[in-house]
A and B are shown apart, each in its own frame.
Chain A
């Protein structure tokens, strides 16, 4: 009864926030609403008994997404304010909505985006309808084979043993994203950007307190991964958030790393799994990407640690490159 009330309140809050978010004409309000949406969403994941996703949502939603959105808002803010002052009738691009005149320049894109979103929703709905009515999916199979892997948490077993291939390719996608941004911005931009040290000792003190704490939380989540919710992605995002925080207050972060070190750290996760793949393929006793059950716990911790470092450094580099554009003279 009470938990139903909680769920209804939470669902109502999510709907209210997302409705206002789409309605808001003030971009800053939309930004702030998106941050609070992430907070409510993390609560919803907790209620749905998906603590792994709740952790990831908390780290991404409260940490990185907020920084990215506010940084982007601050980048476009002065420009649009000048437009606003110069000529009140000129409509800045991006303000168009589907319910407006056909002359609006962004209309076609909005139609396309709406169409794609509709198609995706339809596909998802079909997929959900296609699910078997009874049964627990693959939960039982995973639970039966858990001791083969040597970890106690089923999510970690799936991500780093049963479906290691997926995780590997996901790390590849992250790597490609950074290569793409480097292609546009230039890898040396990361290091040549000026760092503004803050003139607030209070903030500096807080960051010096939070810095070791983010490392502690990172290692804790990484270690927890094999028997409880946690693991490489969550730990990596927390690490990235700590690195971004350091960069924001002008302390040394990924931007001070030598080029070779940066590249090594970024490819570490992908390369470790690649090495495993090559080794298992050549040895031919095992299937590719299969590892001996005896070593699996060590292997999983090693792979997770490598992936954490890569995810942390890559995400931090991505966010910092996006954030610091406006510091150019």
Chain B
């Protein structure tokens, strides 16, 4: 019963990771690609963490997996906020923006 639940959660998690990667590759601009990171992947990690918590052997192990998920959740949402803000500022600033070429050397 628990094993079946863990398998189901794992498969759902894998699906969300797939959705995140498809979003990363297919979304048209960087601002929308951020969604792939904040939403799909964190949910995927959460589902997989939940599955592993169900099959874990001890309470300490369970709590550690929970802590890892919470830290990853806090970290990646902050990262996305920072990246989004950085993008916004660059596109507003008169000197920069994504339209400019990156550092690119000739061969």
Interface, chain A (partner B; CB < 8 A):
25-28, 77, 80-81, 84, 88, 91-92, 95, 97, 100, 200, 202-203, 206, 209-210, 213
**Shortest CB distance B93–A (Å):** 13
Evaluate contact between B105 and A95: CB separation under 8 angstroms. yes
A88 cross-chain contacts in B, Cβ below 8 A: 106
Evaluate contact between A80 and B103: CB separation under 8 angstroms. yes
Would A26 and B71 be within 8 Å (CB), given that A200-B85, A202-B81, A203-B78 are in contact? Answer: no
Contact residues on B (Cβ < 8 Å of other chain), bracket: 10 to 19
**Shortest CB distance B21–A (Å):** 14
Q: How far is the CA of A81 from the CA of B106 in the complex (A)?
A: 13
Q: Which of B75, B101, B103 is the one whose CB lies under 8 Å from A206?
A: B75
Q: How far is the CA of A106 from the CA of B106 in the complex (A)?
A: 15
Evaluate contact between B104 and A25: CB separation under 8 angstroms. yes
Would A77 and B75 be within 8 Å (CB), given that A200-B85, A202-B81, A203-B82 are in contact? Answer: no
Evaluate contact between B71 and A84: CB separation under 8 angstroms. no
Q: How far is the CA of A85 from the CA of B105 in the complex (A)?
A: 12
**Shortest CB distance B56–A (Å):** 17
Q: How far is the CA of A26 from the CA of B71 in the complex (A)?
A: 32
| 16 A-B residue pairings within 8 Å (CB atoms) | A25-B104, A26-B102, A26-B103, A27-B103, A28-B102, A28-B103, A88-B106, A91-B105, A91-B106, A95-B105, A95-B106, A203-B82, A206-B74, A209-B74, A210-B75, A213-B71
Given contact pairs A25-B104, A25-B105, A92-B105, enumerate 8 new A-B contacts (beta carbons under 8 Å).
A28-B103, A77-B103, A91-B105, A97-B107, A100-B107, A202-B78, A206-B75, A209-B74
Evaluate contact between A206 and B78: CB separation under 8 angstroms. yes
**Shortest CB distance B95–A (Å):** 10
**Shortest CB distance B22–A (Å):** 18
Evaluate contact between A84 and B85: CB separation under 8 angstroms. no
Task: Tell me which of A28, A206, A213 has the highest count of chain B C-beta atoms within 10 A of its own C-beta.
Answer: A206
**Shortest CB distance B71–A (Å):** 7
A100 cross-chain contacts in B, Cβ below 8 A: 107
Cβ < 8 Å to A, chain B residues 71-91: 71, 74-75, 78, 81-82, 85
Residue of chain A at shortest CB distance from B64: A220
**Shortest CB distance A320–B (Å):** 20
**Shortest CB distance A290–B (Å):** 36
Q: How far is the CA of A27 from the CA of B107 in the complex (A)?
A: 14
Q: Across chains A and B, which 3 residue pairs bring their CB atoms closest together, nearest first?
A: A95-B105, A206-B78, A80-B103
A200 cross-chain contacts in B, Cβ below 8 A: 81-82, 85
B104 cross-chain contacts in A, Cβ below 8 A: 25-26, 84
Q: How far is the CA of A25 from the CA of B107 in the complex (A)?
A: 8
A28 cross-chain contacts in B, Cβ below 8 A: 102-103
Residue of chain B at shortest CB distance from A209: B74
Q: How far is the CA of A84 from the CA of B81 in the complex (A)?
A: 31
Residue of chain B at shortest CB distance from A76: B103
Residue of chain B at shortest CB distance from A100: B107
Q: How far is the CA of A213 from the CA of B103 in the complex (A)?
A: 36
Residue of chain A at shortest CB distance from B71: A213
Q: How far is the CA of A25 from the CA of B75 in the complex (A)?
A: 30
Q: How far is the CA of A80 from the CA of B102 in the complex (A)?
A: 10
B85 cross-chain contacts in A, Cβ below 8 A: 200
Q: How far is the CA of A95 from the CA of B74 in the complex (A)?
A: 39
A81 cross-chain contacts in B, Cβ below 8 A: 103
**Shortest CB distance B10–A (Å):** 15
Q: How far is the CA of A95 from the CA of B78 in the complex (A)?
A: 35
